[in-house]
Amino acid sequence: MQGIAAEQPQRTEVREDCEQRMTQQQDGAVDLFTSSDLLLADLHLPPLPGDGGAGPLNLAFRRFCDGPARQAQRVFILGDLFEVWVGDDAGLVEHAEDIAALRRLVDAGVEVYFQHGNRDFIVGHAFARATGLRLLPDLAVFEIAGVPTLLAHGDLFCTDDVGYQRWRRFSRNPLAQWLYNRLPLARRRRIAGGLRQDSHKQRKAEAIMDVNEAAIRQAFGRAGVRRMIHGHTHRPAEHRYDIGGVAHERIVLADWRPERLEYLQADAQGLRRQRLAAA
């Protein structure tokens, strides 16, 4: 779990920001308990085709941004918003309408946060500037419905997949990303396409594809929280733990499918799964 330890300075920085927001709330500037937070992950939005059309997931995401998300105080996108992202230069064009929907949401006064996933780990600062959202580190602690909560994409906890973790460390290396972003666009597309094909061809054991329980317990301990929310595994569920005699919970977000456009709503009444209404 070296990756978790490496992210601790950034996570502490986010926690301090969270504490500042709670102070603002006490002063009357921000009321996080009467408003709601929305959390979602693994939408896997495909790039736009050359004819300017849009798939059902893209259209659903835009309805989400222009609909229920407008009523939230904050929206957290916990990785894999996009099926593939070969660089901000191409992504901002291929997802122009999705970017515009995020921009409208931010301009409407909603705070939007984004964590990188295993599909869109190369998303950069140009994307953040275009949308107005804030990029988060791999691990971040926020008050969610009044409870300090560890937010993550979730792939960091799949430590049994040794090959993937090795690739993850390489692909998150700033030098590797700097070099990749300077390759010709066609070369970057070929690399991304090859990685996706390899991923689809591999037949890994089910246990390897899920989180490692020891890694989860270690993450709880290092973050000092009792609740965790993540995506990545495409196995929506609620898990309960007894750690040192104290109850902990881990909530796994659902991946998006045309028949299941699900997000998590958090407010003073607690947490509940919601589904985007049909168009």
Q: Which residue has the tokens 């246990």?
A: 207
Q: How high does pLDDT run on average in the chain?
A: 86
pLDDT at 207: 59
For range 5-30, the mean pLDDT? 41
pLDDT at 278: 80
Rounded Cα–Cα distance for residues 43 and 277 (Å): 16
Residue 215 CB neighbour total at 10 angstroms: 17
Helix 56-66 × helix 96-107 angle, to 10°: 10
Give the tokens for residue 265: 């709503």
For range 184-194, the mean pLDDT? 89
For 41-95, what is each residue's pLDDT tens digit?
Answer: 999 999 986 555 689 999 999 999 999 999 999 999 999 999 999 999 999 999 9
Position 195 confidence tier, pLDDT thresholds 50, 70, 90? confident
Least confident of 168-172, 247-251, 275-279: 275-279
For range 99-117, the mean pLDDT? 98
pLDDT at 30: 44
Is the pLDDT confidence value at 214 over 80? yes
Cα end-to-end span (Å), the chain: 43
Q: Which residue has the tokens 């989180």?
A: 211
Q: pTM value?
A: 0.86
Fold of 2-275: Purple Acid Phosphatase; chain A, domain 2 (3.60.21)
Where do the structural domains in the chain lie, given as residue ranges?
2-275
| More confident position, 262 or 196 | 262
Least confident of 77-86, 202-211, 225-234: 202-211
Rounded Cα–Cα distance for residues 60 and 86 (Å): 23
